[in-house]
Amino acid sequence: MKTALTAACAALALAAASPAAAQISDDVVRIGLILDMSSLYADITGPGSELAARMAAEDFGGTVLGKPIEVLAADHFNKADVAASIAREWFDARQVDALMDVAASATALAAQEIAKARNKIAVFNGPGSTALTNAACGPQSAHWTFDNYAMAHVTGKAVVQQGGKKWFFLTADYAFGHDLQKQTAAVVTANGGQVLGEARHPLNSPDLSSFLLAAQSSGADVIGLANAGGDTVNSIKQASEFGVTPKQKLAGLLVFHTDVKIIGLQTAKGLLLTEGFYWDLNDETRAWSKRFYERMKKMPTSAQAGVYSATMHYLNAVKAAGTDDTAKVMARMKATPVNDFFAKNGKLREDGRMVHDMYLFEVKKPEESKGEYDLYKLVATVPGDQAFMPLAESTCPLVKKG
């Protein structure tokens, strides 16, 4: 009798530990990405981010704890209300367990509120707003690839140290641009520079001539581009066409290699920029990027590489926790260092910030480039604890002070 009871207990324990007994809601692990699929951020995130998430799911084996992994993607058309509506429908009707990106800051902040209300995991790779890990932070969210604080402190500081003391900002007139300008202006003044003025332009502006002329007449040494994607491309191209450069230096505060490729090395050469990832950093980044290129026919951006990294980290956490329960999975994500081709010894803090090294690059001259995607030369590697906002400065209510 005792032997039979012991055997029965052992069998129950084995069943509890098996994939079949895993606590997976509705027997599917669903991952969603709410992206810009068709506008100014589509090259940065878009179909490439969807592919990165699908690659992660495939590389994980297509299942976790014996349950299938599904990846959903949708276009938010850069409208916050659309992003919120998609998030609400996915969580309530489609039983999505986690978002692996919501591209752009205003849309991300809107979806973040829905994720908090539904207690669902939300990871951000495309947006830059520091509000995601400050006032808008949540126990179920993570900010993975970069943020405006890091871009400002790495690029802004480097430009000031090279002699760019007087700044004028060309700023995208929404949450992301306002935050990036604020973060960079603080760095400029803290390092002995001054801000002479600003010009705020609508999102996705084809004609920036009047804003650039205001910058040109300001007497600034540096025009800080607090914009991204197509707006940054247009800013740099039109600054060259109107003769603003090289008389005044441009500081690209959020630039991706896709932007540089569109602009061209002849126009972009010498530009300083900060990235959280570059395809040609080392053997690991090259190996993964080659696989991505074979399917996308483009090299991945840092945001797209971040999606893969975050998705793999999430799936590993689900496996380790034995469940897709939000609190248990996030506890595993925060307890486990991030060690992959994207980051070494990355740490997900209590405010949701994933801290990892950032890289200061200079855009190569045409004669220095050896291929279509050979665009950057590494200037400096900045440790994560120097690049990202210290917890002591955080306004996230989850951060314990003192």
Residue 41 resides in a domain = yes
**Statement to judge: residues 170 and 195 lie in one domain:** yes
Find, among 231, 250, 243, the residue nearest to 171 by Cα: 231
Pairing of strands 166-172, 194-201: parallel
What per-residue confidence (pLDDT) applies to 21? 56
**Statement to judge: residues 254 and 190 lie in one domain:** yes
Q: Please list, in sequence order, all residues whose beta carbon lies within 8 angstroms of the beta carbon of residue 36, skipping any fewer than 6 positions away.
A: 42, 44, 45, 46, 75, 76, 77, 78, 103, 104, 126, 229
**Statement to judge: residues 33 and 109 lie in one domain:** yes
Residue 100 resides in a domain = yes
**Statement to judge: residues 160 and 123 lie in one domain:** no
pLDDT band at 400 (very low <50, low <70, confident <90, very high): confident
Whether 11 shows a pLDDT value over 70: the answer reads: no
Q: 310-342, pLDDT tens digit by residue?
A: 999 999 999 999 999 999 999 999 999 999 999
Rounded Cα–Cα distance for residues 151 and 268 (Å): 18
Q: 197-252, pLDDT tens digit by residue?
A: 999 999 999 999 999 999 999 999 999 999 999 999 999 999 999 999 999 999 99
Rounded Cα–Cα distance for residues 105 and 39 (Å): 15
Residue with structure tokens 């665009």?
A: 375
Residue 336 resides in a domain = yes
What per-residue confidence (pLDDT) applies to 402? 61
Q: 137-176, pLDDT tens digit by residue?
A: 999 999 999 999 999 999 999 999 999 999 999 999 999 9
Q: 187-209, pLDDT tens digit by residue?
A: 999 999 999 999 999 999 999 99
Compute CA 359 distance to the chain's CA centroid, rounded to the nearest angstrom. Answer: 14
pLDDT band at 294 (very low <50, low <70, confident <90, very high): very high
Q: What is the CATH number of the domain that holds 323?
A: 3.40.50.2300
The pTM (predicted TM-score) of the whole model is: 0.93
The whole domain housing 218 covers: 149-280+358-386
Find, among 51, 57, 75, 140, the residue nearest to 327 by Cα: 140
pLDDT band at 7 (very low <50, low <70, confident <90, very high): very low
Residue 7 resides in a domain = no
**Statement to judge: residues 367 and 331 lie in one domain:** no
Which 3 state secondary structure label does DSSP give 213?
helix
Pairing of strands 358-363, 249-252: unpaired
The residue type of 357 is: D
Which 3 state secondary structure label does DSSP give 384?
helix
Number of domains in the chain: 2
**Statement to judge: residues 31 and 92 lie in one domain:** yes
Rounded Cα–Cα distance for residues 235 and 212 (Å): 8
**Statement to judge: residues 184 and 274 lie in one domain:** yes
Rounded Cα–Cα distance for residues 70 and 54 (Å): 8
**Statement to judge: residues 44 and 80 lie in one domain:** yes
**Statement to judge: residues 216 and 364 lie in one domain:** yes
